[in-house]
Each structure stands twice: as C-alpha cells, then as structure tokens.
Amino acid sequence: MTEFDDAFDPLTIGRRVRSLRQRLGLTLEEFAERIGKAPSQVSVVENGRRELRLSELQQYARALEANVAELLDAAELSEREHLEIALAKLQTTARYQRLSLPHIPARKSLSDDTLHAIVGLFREIERMDTERAATPEQARRANTELRAIMRARSNYFEELEAQATDLRAAISMPRGPLPQRGAAELASHLGFSLHSVPDLPRSTRSVLDRAHHRLYVPRAQREDGDQRTVVLQALAAQVLEHQAPANYADFLRQRVETNYLTGAILMPEQSCIELLAAAKQERQLSIEDLRDAFGVTYETAAHRFTNLATAHLDIPVHFLKVHESGTISKAYENDAVQFPADALGAVEGQLVCRQWSARRVFEVEDHFNPYHQYTDKPSGTYWCTSRVQQDALGLYSVSVGTPFEHVRWFRGRDTAHRYTSKCPSGACCQLPHPELTERWATSSFPSARMPSTMLAALPTGEFPGVDLRELYAFLERHAPTSE
C-alpha cells in the first residue's frame, strides 16, 4: 500500500483522456461519436466531474488506442496539466472556500509562471497552517487523508490480497475459514514461536521480539478464547516489514495495512467472492452469513465486505462504528453518503443523526436479529443493516449501508423501518423542543462531562501510546537466557 496516487483521481483521469484524445487529433465531438456518448458527457469526464467505472475506463482506453494502465498513468501528464489539476483541487478545499476568493479557471491565457505562483503560495499557506496546528488537528488531518486513499481505491488493496493468498498457500490452507491452529502454523512458517503471557505491557496488544523470533500475546481469559486476530495482526506487521512509524500518518497507515492483511488471511478473497457472488445472485447478501461462514466477529465481516463489495460486486457502500453516545468511532464510504464532519473533514468523534440506523438500533430490544432501515438523507435514500456489540468502553453499533438503487441485492430490503434525516440541519434532531427550551433554557446549568482526550496531546514516542520503559523491561524478563 502506498500514499495516495493521483491516478485514481477523476480529475487526473480526465486530463489523461483529454491529452490522449488531442494526441490522436480528435475533437471532443469526434471522440464522443466514437464511444457513442454525447459530447457533454465526455466533457464532464475530462473536467473531472464524474468518475469512470472499470468498464468505462476500458471503453475509453480502447477508443483512445491505449490501455487502462496508460489512462491511469499520471506520470504522462505535462507539467502544465499537473499545475492545472493542482489549481483545481486547491480551489475545492474548505480552506480556499473560507477565504471567499473568486474561482480561477485554468485558461490558456494564464501563464505557467502565474500558475506556479498561485499553487506555490497556497501550498505555503497549507504548510504554515499545518505547522501551527495542534497535534490532535494533525492526527485528524492524517486520518482524513487516509480515508481518502481508501475511498479512491474502493477500500480494496490488491497487493495485500496477494500477500494474504501467498501466506495461506504456504500453510496449505488456501480456502475457507482459518482455524486457530492456522494462526499458529503461520507464526511457525514465519519463524516465530508463540508465548501467551500474563504480564504483557498494558499499553500493547502484542509484542514481537524480532531478535529472538518470539511473539508475545496476552493470556486468554478463557481456554477457548479466540486469539487469531491478535496473532495475525502482529505477524502482519512482520510480513509488511513495518518499522517505527515516521509520524502519526505513518502510524495510521500501518494500522490500516495490518488490519486489512489480517482480515484477508482470516477471510480469503476467493472464498469470500464465491460466497458473496452466490448470495448476490440469490439477492440474499448478508453480513451475518459472511460472519458465520468464517467464524469472525460481525465488525470483521463488515470491514471485509467493504473491501470486496465495490471491487467485485460493483456495489458502493459505507461503514460506521458508532458509540452508544452517538459519536463516530470508525467510518468509511464510497457511496456519496455525507457523514458529519468538522472543518478539517474529520468524522471521528462527530455526532451521528438520531434518525440513522446506527443510532436507531440502540432502541431495538431484539439484538439477536439484524436491524434494517431505510433513511432518506440530504444526499439520497440509503438502506442500512446494523448490529449492536459491546467492548470495554460500552456499547457500539456497527452498520453497513448502500444507496437505494443497490438494496435489491440484500436480505432485509423488505424492512418497514424508514426515517428521514435532515442533518446537518439543526432542525433535524439536535435542537430541543421549543416548549422545553422556553421552560429550561434560563433555569438549567449542567456540568459537562469533558472527554479526557479533548485537550490532551496525542501520545508521543516511536510507537504512539506505548510505554517503552515497560516494554523493554518486559522483553528483558522474557528473553531466553541463551541463544
């Protein structure tokens, strides 16, 4: 997995289409006729205002006498085209829009030097803003950028899928659910011995001793406790050759890669695709069935579904993990749903509308069966399936949703639950009833429960939050006395 590649950006692809079209000497009208579309449709694509699906990319590439790889190759763009793309992107940012400056089209009359100056000045403003920002803001920016990478790739990382396939093949378990012994065999294949210990440092989930090829995991509270995920996440870091993160963005990237590879090992791609394709054919797609087929948690199954739904089923989706307080813990979307977000575009910690299934599910007494709901939102109508789960911090809901046009593939589409959300309008669910406001506004004074992390800086150190003194003392206690 690499940093965001402009090749996945609609604006970059649009410029490549225009460049290749002009190289062939085709007018907009001639090219549109060649692919059987209206010139206005091609113009929208060339200006980066619409994404192309894979089948359309192939159609455009053939018509341009190229292949898809050439169409996605941003390196082939001229310096002028890169500047025009940068200018267009800068003007869509919230920072630029807050300045209330006029839109600057990249006309031919605008010289390269002028473009360089505008783009350079604005990037310097961005750099200064980032430099002045508090550490939590930097973290939120990094998280927002990482979510953009995931969206651009439909949360599907082919290189990680290939690594998972190779690892499963190496232990002769290419298909189906991974038994607990499979995690142990994979550790042995990678040259590590497993050690369940009662004194693992509290700031860690597992510890790799790369010098002595040992993997330490916490001793399970129950003999039948499932330690596969903890073991696989640690081994994934070894396979991916992760080193101490250079910054918080690198730390987040490593976590995404580790979790993705772990999910792909637990739930191999080909086996998942076969199950999901058959379910789609029967119009019975279900996160529960995916969970039960591979013996994983509902959250793991939901995450894995987002990896494969768009890439293999052509279904855009969104994912939410929401605390019972209504705040977002994790989120992903490539279906144009609009999550609540702060000025930096970060969604974690934001309040979800009370009308969304992610919060409605907490009011349902039946937590054995999944909860399904249609929600009319400002960006369209969406169908969601939600479940409640519990961890050390309380109750959470895990939800997977899709636009109305794709609900026909899912079990639970016949639900009668339907609500309307007008958020972020305050009139939707955030404002109290006027009569109650009149009665209590001047006679109440609550003592707010302030989140402990609100004013705190993020943990420091090579591995954010890890107590290195405790960690190194632990390793010294458990290191073998002789090589």
How far is 330 from 13, CA to CA, in rounded Å?
29
Q: What is the pLDDT of residue 173?
A: 95
pLDDT digits (tens, 9 = 90+) for 173-217: 999 999 999 999 999 999 999 999 999 998 899 999 999 999 999
pLDDT digits (tens, 9 = 90+) for 138-150: 777 888 888 999 9
CATH (one of 1.10.260.40, 3.40.50.2300, 3.30.43.10, 1.10.10.10) for 6-137: 1.10.260.40
Q: Where are the domains of the chain?
A: 6-137, 138-266, 314-438
The answer to whether the predicted template modeling score (pTM) of the entire model surpasses 0.85 is no
User: Residue 420 in 3-state DSSP?
Assistant: strand
**What architecture is domain 138-266?**
Orthogonal Bundle (1.10)
Task: Work out the average pLDDT over 368-372.
Answer: 93
How far is 284 from 71, CA to CA, in rounded Å?
36
How far is 369 from 101, CA to CA, in rounded Å?
52
**What architecture is domain 314-438?**
2-Layer Sandwich (3.30)
Q: What is the pLDDT of residue 132?
A: 46
**Token pair belonging to 338:** 């609009």
**Token pair belonging to 341:** 């977000």
- CA atoms lying within 13 Å on the CB side of residue 216: 23
Q: What is the pLDDT of residue 5?
A: 45
Question: Has residue 383 got a pLDDT over 90?
Answer: yes
Query: Band of the pLDDT at 2, cuts 50, 70, 90?
Result: very low
| CA dihedral (192, 197, 201, 203) positive or negative | positive
Task: Work out the average pLDDT over 363-381.
Answer: 93
Contact 246, 136 (CB under 8 A): no
Between 77-81, 186-190, 308-312, the lowest mean confidence (pLDDT) is in: 77-81
How far is 225 from 246, CA to CA, in rounded Å?
34
- Between 211 and 92, the more confident residue is 211
State percent of the chain over pLDDT 90: 48
- Between 481 and 258, the more confident residue is 258
How far is 42 from 20, CA to CA, in rounded Å?
13
Q: What is the pLDDT of residue 171?
A: 96
Q: What is the pLDDT of residue 4?
A: 39
